[in-house]
Structure 1
Amino acid sequence: MRVTTNLIFDQNFRAINNSQGKLSDIQTQLASGRKLLRPSDDPVGAVQVIRLTEEIDKTVQYRRNIDLATNNLELQDTTMRSINEIVNRGRVLVVQSGNGIISTEDRRALASELDQIRNQVIDLMNTQNASGEYIFAGYQSREQAFNFNPGNSINPIQFQGDDGINSMQLSDSVSIQTTVSGKTLFEDVKARLDITNVSAAGFAFGGYDMQSQDDFDVFHELNFSAVSPANNQYQMELLASNEIQVTNLGTGSVVDTIPYIAGQPTVFAGLTVDIQGGVGSTFDFELKRPDKQNLAETLHNMSLALNDSSISDYQYQREIRNALVGIDNGLDKMARENSSVGARLNIAESVLGSLLDTDVANQKARSTIQDVDYAEASAEFSKQETALSAAFASFPRVAGLSLFDFI
């Protein structure tokens, strides 16, 4: 093969250019810390790096979600614990108000403290997070959840939010509830089950009481009919056998037959009825439709009863029982929600631990593929630098060779 001057120059130029390119690549690797500078360096490795980077970025977002969810749940937990503590104080006052020796002034003093507790509860039910959102307002989080209007005797505490519940994705397969609607937590609290439309014919009626609210609740829940109101009507009739027959007026069926002892109250399904009379006397009553009442409204109604100087002792005692049952039901509902919040916090903590472990593994795998080995790269840099220096030094000598030098 004939070696021309052009061939010599082209070959040396390509050799120098290649050495400069390799040296530049190694210098870039050392400067950036990355072994893969372009997909063509390692096509398979480049795809793996893209996939691992997507997983790492997704983990970062999930960790942010977990932080946000944890903050929301911890705020709810703290708020409910504060409400629980305050309402328990209100319950103590309600029990104290049942003391038969307290005066009218004492009742007003108790009512004043109950008003303060009611206001504190309403403030806590309108708790806002760091973004200014009302945490118990559902999807209407920019609007105040509860509004108190003491002039409204029917519904003084109005819920202005909705039933919306927010959830947050913590991982590819795990999503948890991060909010609870104030309607579910505070509005939908069962009021005390009772009877209504009471009337007596022939009996001298001295009133009724609950000997066992639990027993009456069981009877009410098993027998109340929302479809057929007539089936909620009952009659007690004194028979010649000195027994009281309890009949469902809607169905006509005999529910129970219980002994009648003159001068003593009659007990039926946890209900104590003071009825005295002769054979054929009847006492009618109807199962009251189950109601739901806001927890703060329960405190408000008790305060009104304490301030009402014209209230009868019988009605006053009923208001106390209503308040105690309403408070207990409200506290029970918050206790269940607190337990649920605790479980969700545990889930968030567990998922975070798994995400951190996965993130470490992905970071390590990506680093192995794309990050430069400085010891290896430094040695390669020195080798390429030596090769380039040799190419620069040899080129003038090769280019200077000529047969004319030997003539």
Structure 2
Amino acid sequence: MRISSVTMFEQSTASINQQQSDFLNVSKQIASGRRVVNPSDDPQAAARAVRVDQSKAVTQQFEDSRVSARNSLSQTESILNSVSDAVTSAKTLLVQASSDTLSNVDRESIASEMRGIYETMIGQANATDGNGRYLFGGYADNAPPFVKETNADGDKFVTYQGDNNTREQRIDSSRLMPVTENGDSIFKSVPTGAGYVAEADGDNKGSVTFSGPQVTNVNDNDYGENYRVGFSVDTFGNATYQVERHTGGVTWSSDDTDGNGLPSGTWTAKNENEGLDLSFGGLSINLEGAPDNGDEILVAQAGSDQREPNLFRTMEEAIRVLETPADDAAQKADLRNTLNTSMRDLDNALDNVLTVRASAGARLNELDVVDAVGGNRMLNYEQTLSDLVDLDYVDAISEYSLRQVGLQASQQAFVDVKGMSLFDYLR
């Protein structure tokens, strides 16, 4: 085979170029700290690295989502703590107002404090997050969920304008977490098993007061039903009573579920010194005073259709009765009955707020657990990515030295080859 000078020159040049290219690649690896600088360096590792990078980005997004969820839940938990303190303060004031030694002026002073607590509760119920969204409006978070209104009689009350949904946020691929509570579940709900509450009809004209109700037998066939005690008084002043059970809609019946009649009879002693003990449906209630014709006492489960819970209505009723002078027997009976009912309602409201707050706290704890899992997952992704594309500097420096020697050898060989000529040997 004939090898010309041009051929040797071209081969030497190609060898130098290859050595320079290899040396440059190693230099780029050392400069970047990555073994795979271009996808062509290791196509399989580059493809796997892209997938790992995508997984890291998704994990980072979930981590950011958990930060937002934690902020919302922390604010919710803080507000619920304030609401529970407000309910406790209101209950303390009602216990104080129940004392018979207080005058009308004293009770008006307590009513003023109650109104301050009431306004504080409304403010907390209409709290917003850092983005201006109302926390307790559900998905209707662009307007205050609780609004004061006035009816035709001039009575002021608070209505809920939000919905019954709970805003949720995805904190992990398999977890969609509620990050707020709707106002209905906080201010218009009671915990499961809240028990019974008695309430005197707002139109009662007599002086009947109640104590209880007390649960005597949870295994009674009629336990769990709602009842009312109605009074009739004839022209001679003879009073009769009848206990009725709610049977659905607006219908009441004097029969229990076994078909037997509920308690009824004549209340012959129309004075405040002789009471009436009634037992029905696994409950007992004590009545005192003198009823008027048409007076009613409702005995219903808290949270039922006949006794819908409403923390703001409870506060409004308590303030109303404290601001009303209690001079005659009927007004004193209204005061005592309303305070008894309000205190039971506040107990139920406090239990409910604490339950909701505990739920928010549990979700905050869950976020900590998911954060730990997400952190471990991120470390695994980073380790996998490092194994795929990161550079082993020990190997790289050895390769760098080897390529440097190779390049120098190629250059030296080129110098020697390009100087070779037959004319140098002719004499």
TM over 0.5: yes
CA contact (8 A) 1:39 1:46 kept: yes
What is residue 412 of structure 2 aligned with on the other side?
A: 393
Deviation at 1:252, TM superposition (A): 6.1
Q: Name the structure 2 match of 1:167.
A: 168
Task: Find the aligned partners of 1:324 and 1:227 in 2 and give their Cα distance.
Answer: 28
Structure 1 residues 242-257: aligned runs within 5 Å: 247=255, 253-255=260-262
What displacement does 1:180 show?
Answer: 0.7
What displacement does 1:385 show? 1.8
- The 1:211/1:329 distance shift into structure 2, 3 A limit, reads closer
Percent identity for Structure 1 against Structure 2: 23
Q: Report the counterpart of residue 123 of structure 1 in structure 2.
A: 123
**What TM-score comes out, normalization by structure 1 length?**
0.84
Name the aligned partner's letter for residue 315 of structure 2. Answer: L
Partner of 1:237: none
Equivalent residue letter for 1:370: V
Give 1:109-120 correspondences, 5 Å limit.
109-120=109-120
> Which residue is equivalent to 1:270?
284
Matches within 5 A, 1:310-321: 312-321=331-340
Alignment of 1:4-403 (within 5 A): 4-149=4-149, 156-189=157-190, 192-194=197-199, 207-214=208-215, 221-222=224-225, 225=246, 227-230=248-251, 232-234=252-254, 247=255, 253-255=260-262, 264-268=275-279, 269-273=283-287, 290-309=306-325, 312-403=331-422
Tell me the CA shift for residue 40 of structure 1: 2.5
User: Deviations 1:322-365 (Å, cap 9, x if unpaired)?
Assistant: 21122111111111111111211121111111111121122112
CA–CA distance in structure 2, aligned partners of residues 290 and 6 of structure 1: 107
1:287-317 deviation line (CA, Å, top 9, x unaligned)? 6752324323321221111111267111111
How far off its partner does 1:82 sit? 1.0
The separation in 1 between residues aligned to 2:413 and 2:424, in whole angstroms, is 18
Where 2:177 maps in the other structure, the secondary structure is strand
State whether residues 208 and 271 of structure 1, in contact with CA within 8 Å, keep that contact through their aligned partners in structure 2: no
Change (3 A) 1:143 1:214: farther
Does the 8 Å CA contact 2:104/2:325 hold for their aligned counterparts? yes
2:143 and 2:366 map into 1 onto residues whose CA distance is 30
In the alignment, the residues of structure 1 paired with residue 275 and residue 323 of structure 2 have an alpha-carbon distance, to the nearest angstrom, of: 33
What is the TM-score normalised by the length of structure 2? 0.80
- Deviations along 1:247-289, one digit per CA (max 9) or x if unpaired, are 45x996424699999755132232324599xxxxx99877675
Distance 1:140 1:260, change over 3 A: closer
Other structure's SS at 1:316 match:
helix
Q: Provide structure 1 residue ranges, at least 5 long, that are not aligned to the other structure.
A: 200-204, 235-246, 277-281
Give the whole-Å Cα distance in 1 for the aligned partners of 2:390 and 2:106. 78
User: Counterpart of 2:371 in 1: which secondary structure?
Assistant: helix
Q: Deviations over 1:23-72 (max 9, x none)?
A: 11111111111110122222222222122212222221111111111111
- Match of 1:212, SS? strand
Cα distance, 1:275–1:3 mapped onto 2, change above 3 Å: same
CA distance in 2, matches of 1:142, 1:78: 21
1:66-102 deviation per Cα after TM superposition (whole angstroms, max 9, x unaligned) = 1111111111111101111121011110111111110
Counterpart code for 2:161: Q
Matching residue of 2:238: none
Say how many residue pairs are matched: 385
CA RMSD, aligned part only? 3.4
Give the superposition deviation at 1:130. Answer: 1.5
Partner secondary structure for residue 169 of structure 2: strand
CA 1:254–1:192 in 2, change beyond 3 Å: closer, same or farther? closer
Equivalent residue, structure 1, for 2:235: none
Note the alpha carbon deviations across 1:192-225, whole angstroms, 9 max, x for none: 45476999xxxxx862513325469996733554
Structure 1 residues 209 and 215: CA distance shift in structure 2, 3 A: farther
Pick the structure with more helix per residue: 1
Q: Is the 8 A contact 1:233 1:285 kept in 2?
A: no
Match of 2:208, SS state, is strand
In the other structure, the counterpart of 2:236 is none
Other structure's SS at 1:139 match: coil
CA separation in 1, counterparts of 2:85 and 2:299?
A: 33
* Contact in 2 for aligned 1:147/1:157 (Cα 8 Å): yes
Which consecutive residues of structure 2, in runs of 5 or more, have no partner in the other structure? Answer: 227-244
Alignment correspondent of 1:241 = none
Closer, same or farther in 2 for the Cα pair 1:393/1:283, shift >3 Å? Answer: closer
Q: Confirm or deny: 8 A CA contact 1:36 1:42 kept in the other structure.
A: yes
- Structure 1 match to 2:240: none
* Distance in 2 between residues matched to 1:197 and 1:305, nearest whole Å: 11
Q: Contact 2:158/2:313 (CA < 8 Å) preserved in 1?
A: yes
